[in-house]
Structure 1
Amino acid sequence: MLAGVRLYLVTALLARLAEEGVAVAAVLLALDRAGSAAEGAFVLTALMAPHVFAAPLAGALAGRVRSPRVFYTGALAGFALAVEALVLLVGRAPLPVTLAVALAGGCCGPVVSGGLSGLLAVLVPAGTARDRAYALDAAVFNAASVTGPLVVTVVTGLASPAPAMAVVGAAAACAAVLVALLPHRRQQDTEERPTLRADLMAGLAVVWRTRELRAITAATCLAFLGIGGLTAATVLFADAHGSPGAGGALVTAFAVGALIGSLAVARRPVPAPRLAGLAMLGLGLALAVAALAPSVTWAAPLFALAGLFDGPLLSATLRIRADHAPPRLRPQVFTLGAGLKITAASCGSAVAGLCAGLPAPLVLLGIAVVQAAAAVLYAVVRSPRTRGTAAVPEAFTP
């Protein structure tokens, strides 16, 4: 079982490294070949757009297939093929063709971003071991957010953006091979199998009717409405303090802090509901203090502190989904939650762009307030006095 978890973590790191790296590689490749980053931005949009629409379907299919190994291998292989095809297409082929390939790869994205996490509940029984496994899974997310762009930057510096994007695709291909080696369990046949439409509705319903799932989904979507604009706000903040190039350092400090926070929770797990609420409050407080920092030098450790709370928040989110989703619908709960968060983050990025004319500390303070509001929303929605059920409805139990 421990070997299976280790293999899963390597698989997830490679897959998410590819997902994080392709965003940077696509922009650099377009800039290198066409002299403009516009096509790269369009490709990135095409890769992200299908998440909210494809996530429920990907999760429903993952829960229905008799051989999860084939499904996850096929999804990761499809993502890898799309990335490698973009190496040849970006800046060379007609834009509609390039975007069609990116959209196809984006349809596989929910399996990479959220679907893989559902496998841990199969590999590890409920309890402290699973809590630690999901904390390590959160650390993998954070590690990928640091290493993905770093790998692309290094390979681009040594060669060019095209080989960098090829390396990203190769990482996804390796993940496709490794996921086939995980100890999956075949789905058991049932006398009456629900239709795909019924499964889709059941996944949405279980998220809404299960209080813990409804609370963490609503709260994290609100939180990521702010987090989605954090990168832009950070760059504006650094520029406002006379160090425009230091924005990347602040983002890196946040990511490193998140990685350390995830690893700390893996060593000493905290009950997931308590951890989620404290993490959102701590994240908001740290960003609020950072917004008041007089310089980038003073802000850097505060961004790292904010990351220390962000990493455990992801760990708590994954654990709550695993603990409260029925086994057959668990893949859909993971992909749906991830798809909604990514959509909220993209909206937050757009809002941050619209607020670019405001004072940068004020924008950062607004993001901090959103995190505090998310903590309050989480507490209110999961309260027993809130209308809804606290446990998984019997109708959705496999």
Structure 2
Amino acid sequence: MKNYFITSESVTEGHPDKICDQISDAILDNLLVQDPYSRVAVECLVTTGSVHIAGEVTTKGFLDVQTIARRTLKEIGYTDPKFGIDADDAGIWASIHSQSSDISMGVSESNNKEQGAGDQGMMYGYACNETPELMPMPIILAHKLTKKLAEVRKNNSIKHLGPDGKSQVTIEYVDDRPKRIDAIVIAQQHKDEISEDEIKLEIYEKVVKPICGKMMDLEEKNKFFPSNSINTKYPQVFMDENTKVHINSTGRFVIGGPEGDTGVTGRKIIVDSYGGIGRHGGGGFSGKDPSKVDRSGAYMARYIAKNIVAAELAEKCEVQLSYAIGVSQPTSVNVNCFGTNKISEEDIMKLIFRIFDMRPKAIIEHLDLRRPIYKKTSSYGHFGRNDEDFTWEKTDKAEVLRQQAGM
């Protein structure tokens, strides 16, 4: 019997790095509303009381950085200087210029040239049959905990919380299947008005137990899990008497947000993807329009991997794509099913090339990526989300994969 532990973390929308991801993607969405063909590559940095935005933008639209940044801070909940930054009083600095003509020449489509990739690089997509979302269980639970932290803060069911927070979940696996929750770590910013003991008890009762407790009631389960999750096909993993729970384990988390840590766009790429299970090509997603294959290629790789697992051609699947700047066809495609495949990986590769068009323009069109959908991707993961705008989460190719595989 093989026994091992895997840990993944998530962060709330108020984490400094996530502030930056959301501002970058809010800028992207704003420009796509005005001009769906906007070329955007925007980075953000936040620190105590200030936001710094830089990047390259080519668009027919008008960019109002000040308004977008302040609105995003306010939506997150940064409306009190005690939390490290205040939406109304923060200093906003921007340095934006147009996309390099050398890059534009390689990416733009013309009468005699297909649209090429916006950069070189490799991207990974991953899927597994541990959860209804076809995602690894540790990252799914970590995201559910941070979403719950944000919910209890915003609806004031736990008072005196700040926007910054993190979760971490360790799952024990037996014979490659999730068996139990071994450890949970929560760090949640708060005001001085709430005591250490009170915040620990409140978070345990109102955040940890509803998500990870075995006695979760049906209403809570239906709220936080897709309707088909109460299904013996997927392992039901909960806390037990040996689960270790650490809540604000330093005892105090008052100084947080941009005052506690400087935030930067693209620094939570593992939180954004699969929680450390499966590989990552290294490129961030936020602030990048879909001509950047760092984003659209990763979405396509997830789409392919998820459909392969949904088709039950494999229990686990990792897809790697790679591109060269200005070139439309991928420079390589690879699939790894970790020995769980029901047909050969060579046959799966043939199906991938037959069914999926991996050229950048085709990806953008098939997944409908020129829409202003990106700000909501920038918190709680880009994958495993039950949202119709996350087109890369569809399993509409599963049936044709099964048919052509002869299953």
Q: Decide: shared fold, TM above 0.5.
A: no
TM-score by length of 1: 0.26
Higher helix share: 1
Give the number of the structure whose alpha-carbon radius of gyration is greater: 2
TM-score when scaled to structure 2?
0.25
